[in-house]
Amino acid sequence: MSFDNAYESLLGGEDAHWAFGTGFSEALSGVNREFPAGVDRDALAAYCLMLGDDALICSQRLAEWCSRAPELEEDIALANIALDLLGQARMLLTRAGEVLGKDEDELAYLRDEREFRNVHLAEIDCGPGPGGDFATTIARLLVFSSWRLALFSRLRGSADPVLKAIAEKGLKELAYHRDHAAQWTVRLGDGTDESHRRMQAGLDRVWPFVDELFATHSVDTVLAGVAVDPASLRSEVDGVLEAVLDAAGLTRPADTKAARVAGMAGRDGVHTEAMGYLLAEMQHLHRSLPGAVW
Amino acid sequence: MADDLELRFERTVQAESRIEPRDWMPDGYRKTLIRQIAQHAHSEIIGMQPEGNWISRAPSLRRKAILLAKVQDEAGHGLYLYSATETLGADREDLTTKLIEGRQKYSSIFNYPTLTFADVGVIGWLVDGAAICNQVPLCRTSYGPYARAMIRICKEESFHQRQGYELLMTMMRGTQQQKDMVQDSVNRWWWPALMMFGPPDAESTNTEQSMAWRIKRDTNDELRQKFVNMSVPQAEALGVTFPDPELKWNEERGQYDFGSPDWDEFWQVVKGGGVCNEQRIAHRRKAHEDGAWVREAAAAHAAKHDARKEGAA
Ligand SMILES: [Fe+2]
Ligand SMILES: [Fe+2]
């Protein structure tokens, strides 16, 4: 590379070379975006928001590790996972937006907390903040990615061509996420007394939020054939988790469930207190400059 | 015998060939390289913080993805460079300790705060831009592993620079508030960017020997001039000005004349008095110390795993 080449086409260069993050629409290029006949579009939008918000909020949490990880390799790995989830979120919010007449940013930045439909597991602080540590983060990632992988593998059969394409693309990513989390679970479970204790504590911290992942929501029922009923994933995911915990010498926590709030939880837009702060941080710049272009 | 080795080393360097890890090299060359590459690696790692500061608040999902990917690239750069020092017999853990104990330096630019999202664009444009000017010549540096790492790094840095510039272009097409934000950011970063090339040649201590060893290829002042020459037309295309009343085209020299950065501020920041010096090191130290139990666990698990394999065999 010559000295001046580094600057070549800085002015006016072709647009196609720029973008890291614009690839997502291309990733689904050629996919039929028409809505399948007879599908309840509002339910489809709600469903895409559920899965999209799970990914967006979990990605926001994971990105908090960037520059704070235990080693450089892990900074890179966690950023990778956060980027994959962000990519999934963008595709899902875009799909929801096709029904709602909004773009991904309007949905991510201009909805209020009560309109977010992610599960609580995605939003709770599992570290590097005071709510956890690296082991807690790994515990969440293990549960989240095992569940989401099972879900996406069924979603490949969705009657919605876009959801089907998103699931196909996401499958490989999620398999890597789960593998990464499983390897760390084993390393920490087996490593030292301290790491074993922390890994067990991490599992105990996230376990009350597991049950919500498998709760059937009315949207799932309305969208039979398009959506996956999460209740149908339970035994598969339990099996995976059991195998990993076994290999790690860890104990499956007792099945305590976080109570719902007047019968509601994340899928109904009812969140933990942590969610308000997360959104305040994520949304404040976008909201403070209305009309700005980014 | 030693003379033969030294002669061969000198010839290799003069002939613009590469020195490889197993080749004989003078002690001073090895030490200088380790110091320089480690300082560069530390800069990549500390450099994750100022921009990382905006990941959680990025104002669009596309910008969030670009920024996260960029900061991730910087971790990768740090990793390649620490690996290059390991080919010289250094040890990552030891270098990290030196960094967090303040015994080794990193680029002083990262001691400046990132105050608005425009800073993300300006850092890409000017700071990654200045880094490229410093680093492209290093793609031909005499030590093979360093030169090869630099080729890969420079490619990614020029990508960062374009992305930064593209963000600024977009903001300059936006609201007045956004345009003001960009100009304000340029005003804050221009002089620190010029300082990235180091003190004026007349005051620079390491230059001469490093040039002879082909570790360094251009003087600080030469690189600074190139950077100014390149940046002015870019600023014009963007619609911003640089905060330097002395900046103007010199027909005779065929270059831009420009003012002198505030070298007192430079030395103050280098010596630890910048807005973020303590914060950057404390952040790095905390990550390293908080991660100690994880690294210990990984090592313990690997050792147990090997022992079990042996026991089974
Ligand atoms: Fe870099
Ligand atoms: Fe960079």
Find residues 172-191 of chain B whose CB sits inside 8 Å of chain A.
173-175, 177-178
Residues on chain A touching B290 (C-beta within 8 angstroms): 68, 70, 128, 133-134
The pLDDT value given to residue B188: 98
Quote the ligand 2 centre to B128 CA distance (angstroms).
5
Quick one: pLDDT band at residue A14, thresholds 50, 70, 90? very low
The pLDDT value given to residue A148: 98
Residue A103 lies in a domain: yes
Residue A150 to residue A228: CA distance in whole angstroms: 10
Kindly give, in sequence order, each residue whose CB lies less than 8 Å from that of residue A33, ignoring residues fewer than 6 positions away.
Answer: A98, A161, A162
Its CATH class, for the domain covering B1-311, is mainly alpha
Nearest to B45 by CA among B95, B91, B88, B87: B95
Residues on chain A touching B177 (C-beta within 8 angstroms): 289, 292
A164 has pLDDT over 50: yes
* Assembly ipTM: 0.95
Q: Is the dihedral of CA B33, B196, B171, B56 positive or negative?
A: positive
Partners of B19 in beta bridges:
B143
pLDDT tens digit string along B2-46? 689 999 999 999 998 999 999 999 999 999 999 999 999 999 999
Mean pLDDT value across residues A259-263: 96
Predicted TM-score (pTM) of this structure: 0.95
Long-range CB pairs of B41-44, under 8 A, 24+ apart, other chains included: B41/B77, B41/B78, B41/B81, B41/B82, B41/B85, B41/B95, B42/B78, B42/B95, B42/B99, B42/B104, B42/B105, B42/B106, B43/B106, B43/B107, B43/B110, B44/B74, B44/B75, B44/B77, B44/B78, B44/B81
Cβ of B64 and A188 within 8 Å? no
Partner A contacted by B306 (CB < 8 A): no
Partner B contacted by A79 (CB < 8 A): yes
Residue A262 lies in a domain: yes
Residue A165 lies in a domain: yes
Average confidence score pLDDT of chain B: 95
What's the gap in Å between the CA of A37 and the closest CA on chain B? Answer: 31
Partner B contacted by A20 (CB < 8 A): yes
Helix (H, G, I), strand (E, B) or coil at B152: helix
The pLDDT value given to residue B289: 98
Partners of B193 in beta bridges:
none
A11 has pLDDT over 50: no
Average confidence score pLDDT of chain A: 93
Comparing alpha-carbon positions, the chain A residue that sits nearest to B125 is A10
Q: Where are the domains of chain B?
A: 1-311
The pLDDT value given to residue A82: 98
* Helix (H) or strand (E) run with residue A45 in it: helix A41-63
Residue A242 lies in a domain: yes
Quick one: pLDDT band at residue B209, thresholds 50, 70, 90? confident
Tell me the ligand closest to B40's alpha carbon. 1
Partners of B248 in beta bridges:
B257
The domain total for chain A is 1
Tell me the ligand closest to B152's alpha carbon. 1
The pLDDT value given to residue B1: 58
Quote the ligand 2 centre to B97 CA distance (angstroms).
23
Task: List the single best residue of B293, B296, B305 to mutate versus A (max A Cβ within 10 A).
Answer: B293
The pLDDT value given to residue A18: 38
Find residues 239-268 of chain A whose CB sits inside 8 Å of chain B.
none
Quote the ligand 1 centre to A6 CA distance (angstroms).
14
Mean pLDDT value across residues A21-25: 49
Task: List the single best residue of A4, A22, A71 to mutate versus B (max B Cβ within 10 A).
Answer: A71
A115 has pLDDT over 60: yes
Quick one: pLDDT band at residue B310, thresholds 50, 70, 90? confident
Mean pLDDT value across residues B63-86: 97
Say which of B71, B78, B292 has its CB closest to residue A66.
B71
Kindly give, in sequence order, each residue whose CB lies less than 8 Å from that of residue A182, ignoring residues fewer than 6 positions away.
Answer: A142, A244, A247
What letter would DSSP give residue A83?
H
pLDDT tens digit string along B230-264? 999 999 999 999 999 999 999 999 999 999 999 99
Find residues 43-72 of chain A whose CB sits inside 8 Å of chain B.
56, 60, 63-64, 66-72
Cβ of B290 and A72 within 8 Å? no
B56 has pLDDT over 80: yes
Cβ of A21 and B171 within 8 Å? no
Residue A227, domain extent: 37-288
Cβ of B57 and A282 within 8 Å? yes
Between the CA of residue A22 and those of A26, A138, B177, what are the distances in Å? 8, 29, 25
A28 has pLDDT over 90: no
Mean pLDDT value across residues A72-98: 98
Helix%, strand%, coil% for chain A, nearest 5? 65, 0, 35
